[in-house]
């Protein structure tokens, strides 16, 4: 039950984020004197509304976003009352139109920045020094986690009939750092795996340090069947095993305190922007995996998610008490939505900004060449491209929502 409530709460937080996006448009448009007729949270039938300052504010029945109606965003708009002709958006200077169109994503970036500061100060953010790739893990010191058993045939969970781990039998402990096997020095975890694999199963001498003090134990290395370290799908052979894993001493999450969080926010803002860019680049290549996940294949955790999937992940993280994860999901969503809305494509905010500056640049060039001002871009000619963007976006949204309902990504 708590997971359902947390999921609903996270979905509400997303709705608040979208509402603040639209509020950014509303506030700046009214500040510049543009005519704003409506500001609503949600779509569909109106639940309630009120009027103030010539604008109708309210709540609609379908909580899937919100909108701010600014009169005359383009010269093609034909629903402008005669009394509002002087306040239509397209008549205002290009810089003011840019501020209004960019203020929505600015609100979401501000949400992300505030969220990052709060997480860095009090809750925790991912430790950027924590090893992420196989190469980084392999380069770690050979600090170990002692397993309960060794499995002779494959890497799997322990069964009652599996023999006790040689490391456990010999008295090695979690956090011990191995330094040599049979006198062969070990500097990294990769060294440890290589040296043990090259050692004959049976009695061996293992040197280690524990709390800074050196020690040596005799172990009886088990014989197991494994593929080569550099070729996991290669031929299986008999090798030695100690029955240990890698112990990473670095924390997965770090906090910086209220003051240190300001500098961390700058660093992590750049990191989040980079992560968003890399994730966006992978989207086209992940579409086939999304489709396969709908048709019965296992869901790739690296595939895109919709607001449904994000809400499910946020709710699950909250139900598990993973509040840093909750915040990072919310922050990441706002960063992604901000950059996505800046794409120079209609009907996105970035599309309107791009056209406004294209018109300005074209007029400037015409004036320098002594030619007539070419005027405004004909938005009607842009409609086929706009509809194509809407169609592709709608299809992708339907695909991700379906995958999130049929085969959702989970944290566990």
Catalytically annotated residues? 22
Helices (runs of H) and strands (runs of E) counted in the chain: 10, 11
Token couple for 363: 């007029």
Its sign, for the CA torsion 21, 27, 28, 33, is: positive
Token couple for 55: 């604008």
CA pair distance 381, 385, nearest whole angstrom: 8
The per-residue DSSP string of 182-231 comes to: TTEE--SHHHHHHHHHHSPSEEEEEEEEETTEEEEEEEEEEEEEE--TT-
- Cβ contacts of 16 within 8 Å, gap of 6 or more: none
Q: Single out the residue of 352, 364, 283 nearest to residue 98, CA to CA.
A: 352
- Helices 349-368, 94-118: axis angle to 10 degrees equals 140
3-state SS assignment for residue 27: helix
Q: Return the ∠ at Cα 77 (arms to 16 and 92), rounded to 5°.
A: 75
Its sign, for the CA torsion 333, 336, 338, 344, is: negative
HSE toward the beta carbon, residue 97, CA cutoff 13 A: 24
Alpha helices in 295-374 (DSSP H): 307-319, 323-341, 349-368
Q: How far is CA 402 from the centre of its chain?
A: 19
Phi, psi values for residue 157, rounded to 5°: -70, 155
E strands, 53-128, are 55-70, 125-126
CA pair distance 347, 387, nearest whole angstrom: 9
CA pair distance 88, 324, nearest whole angstrom: 44
Report how far apart, in Å, the C-alpha atoms of 15 and of each of 24, 27, 80, 108, 399 are. 14, 18, 29, 12, 21
């Amino acid at each position: 039950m708590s997971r359902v409530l947390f999921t609903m709460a996270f979905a509400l937080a997303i709705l608040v984020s979208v509402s603040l996006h639209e509020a950014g448009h509303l506030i700046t448009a009214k500040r510049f004197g543009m005519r704003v007729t409506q500001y609503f949270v949600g779509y569909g039938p109106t639940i309630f509304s009120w009027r103030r300052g010539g604008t109708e504010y309210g709540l609609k029945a379908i909580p899937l976003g919100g909108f701010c109606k600014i009169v005359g965003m383009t010269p093609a708009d034909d629903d402008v009352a005669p009394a509002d002709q002087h306040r239509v958006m397209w008549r205002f200077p290009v810089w003011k139109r840019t501020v209004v169109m960019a203020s929505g994503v600015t609100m979401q970036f501000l949400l992300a920045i505030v969220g990052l500061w709060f997480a860095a100060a009090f809750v925790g953010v991912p430790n950027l020094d924590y090893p992420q790739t196989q190469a980084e893990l392999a380069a770690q010191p050979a600090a170990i986690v002692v397993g309960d058993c060794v499995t002779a045939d494959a890497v799997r969970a322990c069964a009652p009939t599996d023999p006790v781990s040689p490391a456990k039998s010999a008295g090695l402990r979690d956090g011990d750092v191995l330094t040599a096997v049979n006198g062969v020095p070990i500097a990294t975890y990769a060294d440890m795996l290589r040296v043990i694999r090259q050692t004959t199963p049976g009695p061996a001498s293992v040197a280690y340090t524990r709390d800074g003090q050196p020690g040596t134990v005799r172990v009886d290395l088990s014989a197991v069947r494994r593929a080569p370290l550099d070729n996991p799908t290669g031929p299986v052979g008999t090798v030695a095993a100690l029955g240990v894993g890698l112990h990473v001493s670095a924390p997965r999450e770090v906090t910086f305190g209220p003051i240190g969080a300001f500098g961390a926010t700058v660093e992590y803002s750049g990191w989040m922007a980079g992560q968003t860019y890399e994730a966006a680049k992978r989207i086209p290549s992940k579409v086939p995996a999304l489709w396969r996940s709908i048709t019965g294949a296992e869901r790739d955790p690296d595939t895109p998610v919709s607001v449904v999937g994000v809400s499910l992940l946020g709710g699950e993280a909250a139900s598990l008490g993973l509040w840093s994860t909750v915040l990072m999901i919310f922050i990441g969503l706002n960063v992604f939505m901000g950059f996505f809305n800046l794409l120079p494509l209609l009907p996105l905010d970035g599309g309107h900004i791009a056209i406004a500056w294209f018109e300005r640049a074209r007029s400037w060039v015409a004036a320098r060449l002594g030619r007539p001002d070419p005027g405004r871009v004909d938005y009607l000619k842009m409609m086929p491209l706009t509809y194509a963007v809407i169609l592709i976006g709608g299809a992708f949204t339907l695909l991700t929502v379906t995958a999130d309902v049929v085969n959702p990504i989970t944290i566990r």
